[in-house]
C-alpha cells in the first residue's frame, strides 16, 4: 500500500477541521474542531510539537486584544452601561424603526473605526439587543448591523481590524498614505453595505417602536466603564500611530477598568470572568496552527510567487485576483487564517502596494458572506447566542449574498483609481 503524501494529509485534515468550524456539526462549539485539528496534526507527526507551540505563540497579541475587549464588554453589560445606552437610543429613535436602524449603523461604524471590528461585535451587540428589547422590536434586523458593519468599516484605519496589522506587517503605510489608499474604498463599502442591508430588512424595521421609555441615570459603575472604553479607544489610536502592537494596551485597559470598578464597589471580579467567552481563545490558537501546517507544505510560497508573477505582467488583474480570492478564502476558512496567509505572502514575495491592499480588502470585507467568515462575526455569533438569538449559516448567507458582493466590487474598483 503506497504511503500517503504528508502534504496531502495536511491539506485534507486542515480542510476537514475548517469545514467543521464553519458548519458546526452537532452544535459542537467551533473551538473544539479547530483545536481537534491542531491536536491531530501533532499526534500524527504531520507537524512537530515545536512548530505547533510556535504557531500558537504567534497569536499572543490577538489573545491579549480579545481578552481585554471581552472583559470590557462583559463588565459594561453587568454594570448597566448597555441598558442605559439602549434606552438613550430608543428615546432618540422616537418610535421609528428606520431611525433606530440609522442610529445603530452610525454608532457601529464609529466603534469599528476607532475600537476595531471585534469591539463592535463584542461591545455593541449586547447594547443593540438591549435597545431592541426596550423598544419591543424584532432584534435580528438590528443585530445584523453589528455583524456587517464590523467588516465593512474595518479598513478605514489600521486599528479598525487587527488583521490589517497582520497583512501589512512591517510594511504598514503611514496614516496619511493609508487614508489615501483606502479612503474611497472604505466609504463605498460602508455606503453600499448600508443601502443593501436597509433594503433587505426594510419590512422588519418599518414596524413602529414603543415610545414609553424613561432613561434612568447611568450607574457609577457604568460611567466608569464608559470612560474605560473611551480611554481604550484613545490608547489604541496612540498605539497605532506609534506602531505598537494593540493586544497589550487593550488587555491592560480592560483589566485596569475592571479592577477599578470592582475595587470601588468592593466586589469579586469572578462573575465577570465567568461570563467571558473563553472558547474564542482556543479557536484562534487552533486556526494559527492549521495555517502554519499549510505553510509547511510550501503551498503559500507557491501562491506568493504566482501572485508576484501576475502582478509584474498584469497589475490590475493581479489586484482583482488578490481581492476576490482572499474574499472567497476568508469565507471558506475564516479571515484570520486568510489574513495570516496574506501576510506570509507579502513576506515571501515583493508585491505592489495595490496588490497587498486588495488582499487586505478581501480579507476584511469578503467574510461578510458567511457566518464564520471572520473572527468578528464569530464573536457576534457568541454574543447573540447569549441573548437567546440564533442565526443559521444558510440564513446569514441569504443576507450576505445581497450585502457583500456590491461592496467588495465597489471597493476593489475604487482602489484602482
The DSSP-derived string for 117-131 is HHHIIIIIHHHHHHH
Evaluate if residue 166 carries a pLDDT over 80: no
Query: Which one is predicted more confidently, 334 or 355?
Result: 355
Q: What percent of the chain has pLDDT over 70?
A: 97
In-domain check, residue 268: yes
Domain residues for the domain of 363 are 6-415
Taking 90 as the threshold, does the pLDDT of residue 90 lie above it? no
C-alpha to C-alpha distances, 309 to 84, 315, 328, nearest whole angstrom: 55, 9, 21
- What average pLDDT does range 247-275 have in this prediction? 87
% residues pLDDT > 90 (the chain): 24
Higher pLDDT, 410 or 270: 410
Is residue 86 scored above 80 in pLDDT?
A: no
Which residue, 179, 264, 274, is CA-closest to 222? 264
Give the pLDDT confidence score for residue 145 in this predicted structure. Answer: 93
pLDDT band at 299 (very low <50, low <70, confident <90, very high): confident
Q: What would the pLDDT profile of 229-252 be if each residue is shown by its tens digit?
A: 888 888 877 887 777 777 888 899
Q: Rounded to whole angstroms, what are the CA distances from 281 to 27, 187, 278?
A: 18, 32, 6
Residues with Cβ within 8 Å of residue 159, at least 6 apart in sequence: 114, 115, 116, 236, 237, 239, 240, 246
- Which of 355, 350, 164, 179 is closest to 246 using CA atoms? 164
Q: Is residue 203 part of a domain?
A: yes
- Banded pLDDT at 169 (limits 50, 70, 90): low
**Could you tell me which residue, 177 or 170, shows the higher pLDDT?**
177
Per-residue cell: 227: 470612560
Residue 210 resides in a domain: yes
Is residue 1 a part of any domain in this protein? no
Q: Which of 349, 380, 346 is nearest to 363 (CA)?
A: 346
Examine residue 144 and state whether it is found in any structural domain, yes or no. yes
Residue 413 has pLDDT above 60, yes or no: yes
Q: pLDDT tens digits for 146-165?
A: 999 999 999 998 878 878 87
Instruction: Output DSSP code: residue 228.
Output: H
CB 66 within 8 A of CB 183: no
pLDDT for position 232: 85
Asked if residue 224 belongs to a domain, the reply is: yes
What is the Cα–Cα distance from 106 to 330, expressed in whole angstroms? 26
Choice among 43-57, 75-89, 172-186, 300-314 with the minimum mean pLDDT: 75-89
For 280-296, write each residue's pLDDT tens digit.
889 888 888 888 888 78
Which backbone phi and psi does 155 adopt, to 5 degrees? -125, 25
Q: What is the total count of domains within the chain?
A: 1
pLDDT recorded at residue 1:
39
When pLDDT is averaged across residues 260-272 and rounded to a whole number, the result is 87
Q: Closest by alpha carbon to 165, among 239, 107, 229?
A: 239
pLDDT digits (tens, 9 = 90+) for 18-40: 778 777 787 788 788 889 989 99
139 contacts 391 by C-beta, under 8 angstroms = no
Question: Residue 6 — very low, low, confident or very high, per pLDDT cuts 50/70/90?
Answer: confident
SS3 351: coil
pLDDT of residue 402: 95
Cell numbers describing residue 272: 465577570
Amino acid at each position: 500500500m503506497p504511503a500517503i503524501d504528508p502534504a496531502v494529509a495536511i491539506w485534507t485534515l486542515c480542510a476537514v477541521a475548517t469545514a467543521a468550524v464553519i458548519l458546526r456539526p452537532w452544535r459542537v462549539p467551533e473551538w473544539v474542531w479547530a483545536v481537534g485539528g491542531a491536536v491531530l496534526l501533532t499526534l500524527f507527526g504531520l507537524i512537530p510539537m515545536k512548530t505547533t507551540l510556535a504557531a500558537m505563540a504567534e497569536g499572543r497579541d490577538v489573545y491579549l486584544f480579545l481578552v481585554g475587549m471581552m472583559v470590557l464588554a462583559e463588565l459594561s453589560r453587568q454594570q448597566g452601561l448597555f441598558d442605559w445606552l439602549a434606552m438613550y437610543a430608543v428615546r432618540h429613535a422616537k418610535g421609528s424603526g428606520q431611525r433606530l436602524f440609522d442610529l445603530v449603523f452610525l454608532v457601529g461604524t464609529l466603534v469599528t473605526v476607532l475600537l476595531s471590528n471585534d469591539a463592535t461585535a463584542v461591545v455593541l451587540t449586547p447594547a443593540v439587543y438591549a435597545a431592541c428589547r426596550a423598544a419591543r422590536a424584532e432584534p435580528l434586523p438590528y443585530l445584523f448591523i453589528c455583524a456587517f458593519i464590523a467588516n465593512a468599516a474595518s479598513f478605514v484605519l489600521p486599528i479598525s481590524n487587527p488583521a490589517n496589522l497582520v497583512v501589512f506587517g512591517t510594511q504598514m503605510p503611514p496614516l496619511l498614505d493609508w487614508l489615501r489608499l483606502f479612503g474611497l474604498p472604505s466609504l463605498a463599502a460602508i455606503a453600499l453595505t448600508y443601502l443593501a442591508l436597509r433594503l433587505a430588512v426594510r419590512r422588519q424595521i418599518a414596524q413602529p417602536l414603543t415610545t414609553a421609555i424613561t432613561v434612568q441615570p447611568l450607574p457609577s459603575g457604568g460611567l466608569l466603564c464608559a470612560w474605560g472604553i473611551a480611554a481604550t479607544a484613545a490608547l489604541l489610536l496612540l498605539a497605532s500611530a506609534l506602531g505598537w502592537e494593540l493586544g497589550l494596551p487593550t488587555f491592560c485597559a480592560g483589566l485596569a477598568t475592571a479592577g477599578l470598578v470592582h475595587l470601588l464597589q468592593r466586589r469579586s471580579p469572578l462573575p465577570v470572568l465567568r461570563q467571558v467567552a473563553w472558547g474564542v481563545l482556543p479557536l484562534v490558537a487552533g486556526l494559527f496552527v492549521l495555517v502554519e501546517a499549510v505553510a509547511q507544505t510550501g503551498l503559500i510560497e507557491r501562491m506568493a510567487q504566482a501572485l508576484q508573477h501576475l502582478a509584474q505582467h498584469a497589475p490590475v488583474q493581479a489586484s482583482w485576483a488578490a481581492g476576490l480570492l482572499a474574499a472567497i478564502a476568508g469565507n471558506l476558512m475564516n479571515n484570520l487564517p486568510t489574513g495570516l496567509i496574506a501576510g506570509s505572502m507579502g513576506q515571501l514575495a515583493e508585491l505592489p502596494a495595490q496588490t497587498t491592499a486588495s488582499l487586505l480588502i478581501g480579507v476584511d470585507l469578503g467574510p461578510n458572506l458567511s457566518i464564520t467568515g471572520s473572527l468578528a462575526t464569530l464573536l457576534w455569533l457568541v454574543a447573540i447566542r447569549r441573548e437567546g438569538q440564533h442565526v443559521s449559516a444558510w440564513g446569514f448567507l441569504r443576507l450576505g449574498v445581497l450585502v457583500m458582493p456590491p461592496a467588495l466590487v465597489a471597493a476593489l474598483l475604487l482602489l484602482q483609481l
